[in-house]
Amino acid sequence: MHMTPIWCLNRRDYQGRILFRPPRVVYVLIVAFLVFVVVLYVGMRIQQAEVDRAPSTIDLFTTSKVCGMIILVNETKISSVAVSKSHNNSQETGGFVSASTFDDVDSLWSHADELKSSGVEVDDAVVANCGTCGQCSNPHDVGIYDDTKNTLTGDAKRCAYRALIGGRGPSTDCMRKNVGFTDSCNECWVDNIMCDMKKCAFVCMWNEIFGRQFGHTSGGKEILNPCKTCDEKRCGRAFTNCAGANRRRSGIISDIARDDKNELCTVADDGWWLRDDLAMDWESGNWRMSRNSGSGGA
């Protein structure tokens, strides 16, 4: 039986007509793609308008408030991440300090001096990060910030793809496996990913497909493109309220081109997370931190 090749179908050589008519599925795919592009574009424009209306987050990095640690010497040495004394009326008993956010560095040291005057043996006071304390304001998680400062953005992005496909669970597992934050800090990061899925998905997908998701400056850093700007302005405050410490507020320069002059914390103690005494206190559970009441992206 003779089969006519597909490229010979609808041939009209003698009339000079079109030699090949694409199958109907091709037209369906073209229409579907155009509909996808239109929906994506409209969604992107709506979300971008929300980004444009959202306030700047610069105040999260120019604040004078600090997350401080007062390290006490006692029979059981206890470290405290302290968030401002002005928000807490608790007494310093039992060899640890539990307070609220310090209004500034001077307030931290003044509080340490007050404790000394009252007979409490204070070993040291340390600024962990600018702004309020949170679930990531500890030596383990800030140490990861420092160790992964050139890779964390890419790791978080890959885990965000898991959320796009499978939701929160796969993204949580991905961050836990590939980054290694403490569970509470990890939840802050996953919350941020889910916020991006809700408020920035169209902006990020449009930029990924038709723009440059991660362009590079001359210094080799990833630029703050529309996707990252959306994350910063629409999800950054909630993230920092949960995490407390992020890379900029910990004084760590990351793989994203930022306004380091205005956004990078300069009063956080450099390398405090490497101190053996603080690491031992953290690992042994001799660490008291009150939840912050304050509010930057990663």
Q: What are phi and psi of 68, to 5 degrees?
A: -115, 155
Contact between 83 and 101 (Cβ < 8 Å): yes
Tokens of 32: 């579907």
Same domain for 47 and 70, yes or no, is no
Cβ neighbours of residue 170 closer than 8 Å, sequence gap 6 or more: 162, 163
Instruction: Answer whether residue 211 is part of any domain.
Output: yes
Same domain for 64 and 46, yes or no, is no
Amino acid at 177: K
Same domain for 18 and 73, yes or no, is no
Number of domains observed in the structure of the chain: 2
Measure the CA–CA gap between 290 and 136, rounded to whole angstroms. 12
Same domain for 149 and 26, yes or no, is no
Same domain for 128 and 48, yes or no, is no
Tens digit of pLDDT at every position of the chain (298 positions): 555 554 454 544 445 555 566 677 777 788 888 888 888 899 899 999 999 999 988 989 889 999 998 887 764 444 455 444 444 434 333 334 344 579 999 999 998 898 888 887 888 889 999 999 999 999 999 999 999 999 998 999 999 999 888 889 999 999 999 999 999 999 999 999 999 999 999 999 898 888 754 444 434 455 678 999 999 999 999 999 999 999 999 999 887 777 777 889 999 999 999 988 777 777 776 666 665 443 455 5
Same domain for 40 and 62, yes or no, is no
Same domain for 229 and 291, yes or no, is yes
Same domain for 131 and 27, yes or no, is no
**What is the value of pTM for the model shown?**
0.79
Q: What are phi and psi of 270, to 5 degrees?
A: -70, 125
Same domain for 36 and 64, yes or no, is no
Instruction: Answer whether residue 5 is part of any domain.
Output: no
Cβ neighbours of residue 111 closer than 8 Å, sequence gap 6 or more: 68, 70, 82, 85, 97, 99, 102, 125
Same domain for 42 and 61, yes or no, is no
Beta bridge partners of 130: 66
Instruction: Answer whether residue 2 is part of any domain.
Output: no
Within 10 Å of residue 39's Cβ, how many Cβ atoms?
11
Measure the CA–CA gap between 279 and 283, rounded to whole angstroms. 6
Give me the domain span that covers residue 38.
13-53
